Structure 1
């Protein structure tokens, strides 16, 4: 056992304790000079106190102590009105703080959940559009209707106009 444990249990040793604990304490006291000194001081104090005559406590001692404890306890407590005032605004303040926390969490989620597009996609799209535009420009230089897509669009527009004009003429 450690000295601090033994010294805290020396009072128990003087009034009688379990056999195994008593054996451990006595063993430590026999080997430790500091604890042996504490044990001898405790034994002398007990011997001196045994010669002092016992007296009954005064009749109102317990009530006086109890009243005094109540006075000290009342001084350390908040007055009832102060307690009610605190309780009156703590619940709404807690609800308000919780609401603010939810709003901030939602804002953070909205802000950080949408990742910006990957930077590598932009140049690839731009390059593919550039190739497409340059091909069409090259085909358009020589003959405006050389592009088959453009030719198809123009043909459908012309046919649509011809059908519409023939209907108008009737």
Structure 2
């Protein structure tokens, strides 16, 4: 029963995340061993129907993938693109902004003011940039903008 609920929660999350499907290649079903056991190309995906012991993934071509709740550990989009990309500069002497998952920093900032803003424009962190890294670990999950010297990069945490 617990596995059924877990699988239903995962499938509900999938249904609510269908807006992301435009940016992914396929829907991958991972088994209890953690291996990608089955995949359905999103261009061929039609719908999912639920039964007492499992669910069926129906494809546009008429084929059906039958899966038991207990055999599926997780469901993920393959090659999901979130639209947030790194910014690279062609000239090495120009200031470059960076994000590595835990810190933001600016090469070539030479004491300029920098700031991290939430996606709604609220300044979350402000600092004089001297080449050291600024921790963003305390920020909640979300999308942010790091600005300095007329340049900016978006990052997701």
More strand by share: 2
User: Which protein shows a greater Rg?
Assistant: 1
TM-score by length of 2: 0.17
Report the TM-score, using the length of structure 1 for normalisation. 0.16
User: Of Structure 1 and Structure 2, which has the larger fraction of its residues in helix?
Assistant: 1
